[in-house]
Amino acid sequence: MAEPTAAPRSFLDLSDAGGDAIAAMLADAQDRKAARREWPKGKTDADAPLAGHVLGMIFEKNSTRTRVSFDIGMGQLGGTSLILDSGTSQLGRGESIADTARVLSRMVDAIMIRTDDHAKAEELAHHASVPVINGLTDRSHPCQIVADLLTMVEQGKALPGLELAWLGDGNNVLHSILEAAALFKFNVRVGTPQGYEPAAEFVGMARAAGSQVTLTQDAAEAARGADIVVTDTWVSMGQEHVHNKLAAMAPFQVDAALMAQAKPDARFLHCLPAHVGDEVSEEVFEGDQSVVFDEAENRIHAQKSILLWCFGRL
Ligand code: CP
Ligand code: NVA
């Protein structure tokens, strides 16, 4: 059976693109966002760069933002998308990742996958002859962080030298933040309970690139002097079985007292969905420093730039 010749541009982690390409994505996202301000969301961008292209999206976990932003974003670029839910596709009945990759590569122009096991996304990319995009795995959430970087830049924050505080669980979203820190040379202060630190691989990656990464069990120390304060759910999808976690996490709630440790013009980010009253207080979530709904909207603008990069248009 013939194998694909040229390796497609997949986006399983931020490093697949690298700092220069992500900087280009951020610039393109800002331009496209500005060009279509006040337009209806379903209207196609003037240049329709992905006209005729189809994105297939595999969801093995729930999603609101990733699903809608890829669908609407693909439409804005002139393309279309379709969704395969694990519960209603043959993947959910045991068809192999390899065969799914080869079949979808004959039918769509790119594949997005949200799955529990990062190795599945890697296997899909290995067997696909079209780009594969990581729409969240247990290991990382790179698309989210392109939107987060866009939000930080919009808020007037220069990325090199920025101080970012992460509070709560050392999870997949934090891993991609650490990867971004390595690429854009910003510093990360991680406040987690003992035993919930991020994977050493991502801490090492950021430190090796020259970023300062502080790991602490003192929430105030993590937040002190931060430009950006970030948290996420204490219980990620697929981890619902973890017991006694909420009690350990309680001191890491981002509340007004913790935000007061950060710089006065600090901004609060959360990838959503949020559990207000757990990882963030209502006062902070609804407060003036919170830019979580800009961040959510930016998923659309970020996805479009990621798609354009995957298709070699950036
Ligand atoms: N932030 C994020 O990925 O949201 P969804 O789970 O709704 O896609
Ligand atoms: N860490 C969360 C992010 C959800 C968008 C999860 O994996 O469930």
CATH no. for residue 194?
A: 3.40.50.1370
Max CA distance (Å), the chain: 62
Average pLDDT of 92-99? 95
Write the pLDDT tens digit of every residue in 229-268: 999 999 999 988 877 899 999 999 999 999 999 999 999 9
Question: Any idea of the CA torsion for 48, 49, 54, 60, to the nearest 10 degrees?
Answer: -100
Is the pLDDT assigned to residue 168 strictly greater than 90? yes
Please report whether residue 49 resides in a domain.
Answer: yes
- Residues 97 and 9: their CA atoms lie apart, in Å, by 19
Q: Is residue 9 part of a domain?
A: no
The answer to whether residue 310 is catalytic is: no
Average pLDDT of span 258-284 = 98
- Residue 202 main-chain phi, psi, to 5 deg: -75, -35
Question: pLDDT above 90 covers what percent of the chain?
Answer: 94
The pLDDT tens digits for 34-89 are 999 999 999 999 999 999 999 999 999 999 999 999 999 999 999 999 999 988 99
Report yes or no on 277 lying in a domain.
yes
- Number of the ligand 2 atom closest to the C-alpha atom of 144: 5
Contact residues for 232 (Cβ-Cβ < 8 A; gap 6+): 168, 169, 171, 173, 174, 270, 271, 279
The answer as to whether 148 is a domain residue is no
Judgement on whether residues 280 and 303 belong to the same structural domain of the protein? no
Whether residue 5 has pLDDT greater than 60: no
Which whole number is the average pLDDT over 93-119? 97
Beta strands across the sheet bearing 54-59: 80-85, 54-59, 110-114, 132-134
What is the residue with the minimal CA distance to atom 3 of ligand 2? 236
Same domain, 252 and 219: yes
Q: What is the mean pLDDT of the chain?
A: 96
Taking residues 107-121, report their average pLDDT.
98
- Please confirm, yes or no, whether 93 is among the known catalytic residues: no
pLDDT at 243: 76
Query: In this predicted structure, what is the pLDDT of residue 87?
Result: 86
Q: Is the CB of 57 under 6 A from ligand 1?
A: no
Ligand 1 centroid to 300 CA: how many Å? 12
- Domain contains 94: yes
Phi first, then psi, for residue 232 (nearest 5°) are -155, 170
What total of structural domains would you count in the chain? 2
Whose alpha carbon is nearest atom 1 of ligand 1? 271
Residues with C-beta less than 6 Å from any ligand 2 atom: 136, 171-173, 232-233, 236-237, 271
For the segment 16-45, the average pLDDT, to the nearest whole number, is 98
pLDDT band at 28 (very low <50, low <70, confident <90, very high): very high
In the numeric block, which tokens belong to residue 135? 């729409």
Q: 13 C-alpha to center of ligand 2: Å?
A: 15
The residue from 271, 289, 303, 310 that is catalytic is: 271
- Please determine, for residue 4, whether its predicted confidence score (pLDDT) is greater than 80: no
Query: How many angstroms separate the alpha carbon of residue 135 from the centre of ligand 1?
Result: 9
Q: Give domain status of residue 172, yes or no.
A: yes
- What is the domain extent for residue 274? 156-290
Mean pLDDT of the region 119-132: 98
Is residue 114 flagged as an active site residue?
Answer: yes
Residue 121 within a domain: yes
For residue 171, is it within any domain? yes
Cα of 254 vs centre of ligand 1, distance in Å, is 20
Catalytic residue status for 144 = yes
Q: Quick one: which ligand is closest to 138's CA?
A: 2
Place of tokens 């709904």: 293
The confidence score (pLDDT) of residue 93 equals: 93
pLDDT tens string 192-227: 999 999 999 999 999 999 999 999 999 999 999 999
Return all residues near 62 (Cβ < 8 A) that are at least 6 apart. 237
Which pLDDT score is estimated for 1?
A: 57
